[in-house]
Amino acid sequence: MKEVIYDAIFGGGILGTISYLSNVYGKDNPVFFKILAFLWSVPLTFFFFINIASRYGKNPMEDFCKHAIFGTLFTLILSIICYYVIRNVKEIDTEVVVKYCFIYALTVTLTYFVFKLYTF
């Protein structure tokens, strides 16, 4: 139970801090979202979750790494598509891009669970 409380405080603290900093610096500081994107994609989040998996041995760590690769590939594909659309479709509304990202994320997530890809 101690680990759960630690993980909740640590994870919540990270997300709360990001939300706070976004409200304070997001509008007026043009580099904020560049830094945020880097911090999101740098392996700090991976470390947090691999640390949790490591408590249960090498197999959970291996499974975590394999499925992290799946998720990372899908995120990379989405990032490339979004970047291309934002860069090349001049009249696109940002709300459309956000909705597309949500639908893509939902579709990929549902596919993962409906087809039980977590069993591989």
Is residue 111's pLDDT more than 80? yes
- 5 vs 116: CA distance, rounded Å: 29
Listed residue (96, 66, 65) closest to 81, CA to CA: 96
Question: Under DSSP, is residue 98 helix (H, G, I), strand (E, B) or coil?
Answer: helix
pLDDT confidence band for 6 (50 / 70 / 90): confident
Q: Taking the alpha carbons of 40, 21, 96, 105 in that order, is the dihedral positive or negative?
A: positive
Q: What is the mean pLDDT of the chain?
A: 88
Which amino acid makes up residue 64? F
pLDDT by residue (tens digit) across 15-70?
Answer: 888 888 888 887 788 788 887 788 777 777 788 889 889 999 999 999 999 999 99
- The pTM is what? 0.71
Residue pair 48/3 in contact (Cβ under 8 Å)? The answer is no
